Structure 1
Amino acid sequence: MTDSRLPPPGTVVRRTTARVLPVRPDGKVLLLHGWDPLKPDVPYWFTIGGGVEAGETAAQAGSRELREEVGIVLPPEALGRPVATNTIEFEWGGCPIIQRQTFFAVGVDAVEVTFANQEELELETISAHGWWDADALEATGQAAHITIPGLLRQAVSAIDLRKAS
């Protein structure tokens, strides 16, 4: 099956993304549950975020992605300084992806998560959201990438430091 919304299989995709880690007062972080469209039987948990568009800062992209993917509305300046950056390589939709990521942590209280603003492909490949602590996520073996539990720990630490200052 070829999906016209995806690049031709085998195309190397290089992208820069902004990722946002919403942290509740109990230290749990909001993640999304989904799968590769070519591997729906292998679901995983991943961070909120997406591509930085031309003319956007990482914070602007993070703010937009937070609103589009889970319905949390925060201005870009509310994201603060990035808590981490990394580059990962993985395959999705039959394409190797080299992804430069900037992570922001935001403290949130009770939030209403909605998928109402997601794009069609997101709606087809994201099934749920969940609040996770790093140890519990690590124990499932279902993090989309090995770095995610550590990123959850960094996000919680960053929020705790902001509260303390």
Structure 2
Amino acid sequence: MAADEPAVRRREAARVLLLDAADRVLLFHGFDPAEPARTWWFTPGGGLEPGEDGRTAALRELAEETGLTGVELGPVVAVDLAEFCYDGERYRQHQSFYLARTTGAGPAELDSSGSPADERAQLSEARWWTTDQLRRTAEQVYPERLAELLDLVLSQGPPVPPVRL
């Protein structure tokens, strides 16, 4: 690493593939505060806090970002190593993707007021996506193979062991 390059922040993260009754997945649209024109869609979730396990972090993040509590979290269906820059910092993030479903016939009512204000300010939209919409979009979606993963989960059930993205 060159002297002028920022250090890489390593962290563990838990993400949630939250499906509704119509098999649509919830994604958030966000941007990098250091590069506001760079936007992408991503699953709910975030970094583990000290002493926290992945399942606990996934449920905490889901509650903060959506207002949904009492969600039954399923198994880890995928794991990933994401390397990215965000707000001028470099990250190397090991992340696990948990499967979960909303209850009820329609999409859940979302409330992000439990998220820190700086995180809420960087989210512009929440949307439920079908796998077909994911395959057709020209917008950046993370994880990049999300449509393929959802096709697998919906057609064959949760993979054992989890898929490596």
TM-score tier, shorter chain, comes to 0.7 to 0.9
| Partner Cα separation in structure 1 for residue 156 and residue 124 of structure 2 | 28
Q: Is the 8 A contact 2:75 2:158 kept in 1?
A: no
Q: Secondary structure at the match of 1:55?
A: coil
Summarize deviations over 1:133-155 as a string: whole Å, max 9, x none.
Answer: 23312322321442333343345
RMSD: 2.2
Q: For residue 118 of structure 2, what is the aligned residue in structure 1?
A: 121
Q: For residue 87 of structure 2, what is the aligned residue in structure 1?
A: 93
| Partner Cα separation in structure 1 for residue 88 and residue 148 of structure 2 | 27
Higher strand share: 2
The alignment status of 1:139 with 2:136, answered yes or no, reads yes
- How far residue 48 of structure 1 moved from its aligned partner, in angstroms, is 0.4
Q: For residue 72 of structure 1, what is the aligned residue in structure 2?
A: 68
Q: Is the 8 A contact 2:77 2:158 kept in 1?
A: no
| Partner Cα separation in structure 1 for residue 20 and residue 26 of structure 2 | 8
- How far residue 91 of structure 1 moved from its aligned partner, in angstroms, is 1.3
Q: For residue 150 of structure 2, what is the aligned residue in structure 1?
A: 152
User: Aligned pair count?
Assistant: 151
Q: Secondary structure at the match of 2:109?
A: coil
| Partner Cα separation in structure 1 for residue 28 and residue 157 of structure 2 | 20
Q: For 2:88, give the aligned amino acid.
A: G
Match of 2:55 among 59, 63, 70: 59
The alignment status of 1:29 with 2:57, answered yes or no, reads no
| Partner Cα separation in structure 2 for residue 96 and residue 58 of structure 1 | 22
Q: For residue 3 of structure 1, what is the aligned residue in structure 2?
A: none
Q: Secondary structure at the match of 1:106?
A: strand
Which one is further off, 61-70 or 134-143?
134-143
| Partner Cα separation in structure 2 for residue 63 and residue 154 of structure 1 | 23
| Partner Cα separation in structure 2 for residue 157 and residue 102 of structure 1 | 20
- How far residue 54 of structure 1 moved from its aligned partner, in angstroms, is 1.6
| Partner Cα separation in structure 1 for residue 55 and residue 155 of structure 2 | 19
The alignment status of 1:12 with 2:12, answered yes or no, reads no
| Partner Cα separation in structure 2 for residue 85 and residue 26 of structure 1 | 24
Q: For residue 97 of structure 2, what is the aligned residue in structure 1?
A: 103
Q: Is the 8 A contact 1:23 1:155 kept in 2?
A: no
Higher helix share: 1
Unaligned runs of 5+ in 2: 160-165
